[in-house]
Amino acid sequence: MYKRIHNFSAGPAVLPEEVLLEVQEEMLDYRGHGLSVMEMSHRSAPFQEIIDNAVAAVKRIMDLADDYEVLFLQGGASTQFYMIPLNLCPDGEVANYINTGSWAGKALKEAQKMGKKMHVAASSEDKEFTYIPRDFVLSDNPAYLHITTNNTIRGTEYKFDPETGDIPLIADMSSNFMSKPVNFRKYALIYAGAQKNIGPAGVTVVIIRKDIIPRINSGLPTMMSYNTHIEKGSMFNTPPCFAIYVTGKVLKWIENQGGLKAIEQNNIRKAKCIYDILDNSRFYRGTVVREDRSMMNIPFRLPTEELEKKFISESTAQGMLNLKGHRSVGGCRASLYNSLPLKSAQVLAEFMLDFEKKNR
């Protein structure tokens, strides 16, 4: 037997136990082929089936038709920070960003580094990124508007889709990807590193609406161009085969749970365990405005930094890992991604109440 901890990591994060067991079972002999997926040619029929099934599952789960391309790329969400302006911001146009925290800030800096004109259409920096701006002002000749739908470090989340009319809306959905139903069709490009919500590290899902393909810059190095990966079905070069394979299993798990509606219900229940405590406590303090708080990443503070240290060491000793806040903001943070069992959220909630009683 094995013992699993309660894993509140912000990423790489917890995966469904069923998925891990299936991977284990198929490790030495993948479905009678006599080898593991790690050892398999990416040009082989079994691997082609794995990637085709994963693409189809993404489209089914997100209710996307054939007007979208689904890519599995390498380099993490961070590589998308510069691929997006390179591919989709031609000279004479302006890359627009809403700045809602560290990741959004990194994305907009890359646009500048690529020599693009960049415009901050809205920002929540005035209040330390504790809210999501409702209004924004686009520049002249906007190439696109980029948003970060869930701010992993600050713990804010978009609960609405900004209205941009004909201007392509682009979203970094890394930390709330497939956590709830979204009107995905409003987005021209969506990307997400798999390691937060849908798989292991090493693969990034990029979803591109076909109507923006003609806008793609044709003068880029081969690997930098979305066109290459679209034309070659994510297999211009060797893709991250094993990460795609495990992600495919998590996608199947999402469908077996009942899809995004069911996943959302589960996520609401888990987040409620923790937010109910924050809302009713004078000991714990949430750090963002209520309307914009994230269902995935919940930062909170205790009365003193000493107590925060004690909280983290005692929770760790009791099998709850990774509750330390991001080093840039301090405090505590619980990440409650899709695959985190409800039980883990309940165990944390009980611990929090108990800790408050003993240390108040």
Ligand X SMILES: *Cc1c(COP(=O)(O)O)cnc(C)c1O
| Residues 229-268 interacting with ligand X (rule: CB under 6 A) | none
Q: Which is nearer to ligand X, 193 or 240 (CB)?
A: 193
DSSP conformation letters of 243-308:
HHHHHHHHHHHHHHHTHHHHHHHHHHHHHHHHHHHHHT-SSSEE-S-GGGB-SSEEEEE-SSHHHH
- Find the shortest distance in angstroms from Cβ 97 to ligand X: 13
| Residues 70-109 interacting with ligand X (rule: CB under 6 A) | 76-78, 103
| Residues 143-182 interacting with ligand X (rule: CB under 6 A) | 148, 152, 172, 174-175
Q: Kindly state the number of chain residues that form the binding site for ligand X, as judged by CB under 6 A.
A: 12
In this structure, are strands 332-335 and 297-301 parallel, antiparallel, or unpaired?
Answer: antiparallel
DSSP conformation letters of 139-208:
-SSEEEEEEESEETTTTEE-SS----TTSPEEEE-TTTTTSS---GGG-SEEEEEHHHHTS-TT-EEEEE
- Find the shortest distance in angstroms from Cβ 191 to ligand X: 9
Q: Which is nearer to ligand X, 103 or 245 (CB)?
A: 103
Rounded Cα distance, 206 and 191, in Å: 4
Q: What is the three-class DSSP state of 97?
A: strand
Q: Which is nearer to ligand X, 46 or 105 (CB)?
A: 105
User: Which residue number is nearest to ligand X in terms of Cβ?
Assistant: 76
Which residues are known catalytic residues?
Answer: 103, 172, 196
Q: Which is nearer to ligand X, 8 or 103 (CB)?
A: 103
Binding mask 4-43 for ligand X (x = CB under 6 A): -------x--------------------------------
Kind plus residue range of the DSSP H or E element containing 227: helix 226-231
User: 34: Cβ–Cβ under 8 A, 6 or more apart, which residues?
Assistant: none
- Find the shortest distance in angstroms from Cβ 5 to ligand X: 21
Q: Which is nearer to ligand X, 11 or 85 (CB)?
A: 11
Of 85, 162, 193, 199, which one interacts with ligand X (CB under 6 A)? 193
Tokens of 136: 């924004």
In this structure, are strands 285-286 and 320-321 parallel, antiparallel, or unpaired?
Answer: unpaired
Could you list the residues that contact ligand X (CB under 6 A)? 11, 76-78, 103, 148, 152, 172, 174-175, 193, 196
